[in-house]
Amino acid sequence: MTDVSLQQLSRRFGDNVAVRELNLDIASGEMVAFLGPSGCGKTTTLRMITGLLQPSSGDVLFNGKSVVDIPTERRGAVMVFQKHLLFPTMNVAQNVGFGLKMAGVDKKEINRRVTEILELVELPELETRKAHELSGGQQQRVALARALVVKPQVLLLDEPLANLDANLRITMRQLIRDIQSEMGITAIFVTHDQEEAVMLADRVALMFDGVLQQVGEPDAFYQRPRTTRVAQFFRNSNLLPGVKTGTMVETEVGPIELDDHVSADDGPVVLTVRPEEVRIADSSSAATNVVPAVIKSVIYMGTHTQLIADIGGSSWSVQAPATMTSEEGARIEFQLPKKHLWIVEDDSVSAAEEVAAS
């Protein structure tokens, strides 16, 4: 049982700041995902937790004690990479038993625990196989078993569900969650795939450009994104600027009424509603928050129809029923449900400036 605390953690490579003053507390037995595009500093953060990389400043604490001076091999933070999973010259049993052998556990005990853990990951009777004789999914489970068998303080995973097809993803997710909660292991993984993050993690920590953007339970990133960039990373680029007064926002396309739970200062704001929450207005729908729009494209996606529409000069994406038929240039009315309306901080300008400055 280990809780992990990252305090003002920073890492520079020359002039380039890979991770900037990151603060995060991870509870014992929790599973946290570091999410972000490649180069956002998530892998650097993970490597600092393992000790493979020293922080430029800041601290990493396990159970309240600093571990930055403890070398990787004695830190008990075990890493499972996504590529080059298994030691190629060893068989499955030797791979899984590696950590125990390093810890000086005697052979009988190693054999017993290896057999036990291979059953747990549902791979019994494969002890003598070599790595290249296993499928990708089997290799991934052996790598997981190899990490778990040493009862690590912290389990670190690099894109644990990448390279798996949709069905295997669900199975693997279940396996990881079951074992992790059964053994009460604190787990941290990195991924660039928001689906992978929300499927597996208790909490998600989203990073851009080395800076932590938002930390929270997976649904927060869909329902309550902090900024426009966060919303966009979670595939929501529906933005509508306006001026807020109380619970009303005056926009290009008329007044929009907000729910009480949306708190923001009065003044200029940016409204958003996720593509799957926007309704197509008909005679029976409520009269509030109905906005006019012009269809720009209609894409049939099988399970639904994706509409790209212009609302007051902004391009919106709307997920309509698969049976919906429409055509380019058609005028339509959307209803923005009160409970799904949210205000985001507009950081797209500052992001553009950052790019220009660098």
- Of 35 and 156, nearer to another protein (C-beta) is 156
How many residues are given for the chain? 358
From 65, 106, 132, 182, residue interacting with another protein (rule: CB under 8 A):
132
Long-range contacts of the stretch 10-18 (C-beta < 8 A, 24+): 10/55, 10/56, 10/57, 10/58, 11/41, 11/44, 11/45, 11/48, 11/53, 11/55, 11/56, 12/56, 17/210, 18/44, 18/210
Residue 212 CB coordination number (10 Å)? 23
Residue 12: HSE in the Cβ half-sphere, 13 Å Cα cutoff: 7
From 89, 283, 284, 358, residue interacting with another protein (rule: CB under 8 A):
89
- Of 51 and 225, nearer to another protein (C-beta) is 51
Any contact of residue 156 with another protein (CB under 8 A)?
yes
From 19, 43, 92, 98, residue interacting with another protein (rule: CB under 8 A):
98
Number of residues that bind another protein (CB under 8 A): 42
From 15, 69, 106, 165, residue interacting with another protein (rule: CB under 8 A):
165
From 11, 20, 113, 146, residue interacting with another protein (rule: CB under 8 A):
146
Site for another protein in 275-294 (CB under 8 A): none
Token pair, residue 152, equals: 């690590």
Strands 290-300 and 304-311: antiparallel
From 25, 109, 125, 133, residue interacting with another protein (rule: CB under 8 A):
133
Any contact of residue 15 with another protein (CB under 8 A)?
no
From 25, 57, 102, 350, residue interacting with another protein (rule: CB under 8 A):
102
Site for another protein in 57-86 (CB under 8 A): 71-75, 77-81, 83-85
Any contact of residue 11 with another protein (CB under 8 A)?
no
Closest contact distance (angstroms) between CB of 137 and another protein is 4
Any contact of residue 17 with another protein (CB under 8 A)?
no
State which amino acid sits at residue 279: R
Any contact of residue 4 with another protein (CB under 8 A)?
no
Within 8 A by CB and 6+ apart from 77, the residues are: 49, 50, 51, 62, 67, 152, 153, 154, 156
Helical H segments across the chain, by residue range: 42-50, 72-75, 92-102, 107-120, 136-148, 166-183, 194-200, 218-223, 228-233, 348-357
Any contact of residue 163 with another protein (CB under 8 A)?
yes
Any contact of residue 139 with another protein (CB under 8 A)?
yes
Measure Cα distances from 275 to 295, 306, 311, 335 in Å.
14, 9, 13, 12
From 1, 59, 88, 195, residue interacting with another protein (rule: CB under 8 A):
88
The residues that touch another protein, with contacts defined as CB under 8 A, are: 50, 52, 71-75, 77-81, 83-85, 87-90, 98-99, 102-103, 132-139, 141, 143, 146-147, 150, 156, 163-165, 167-168
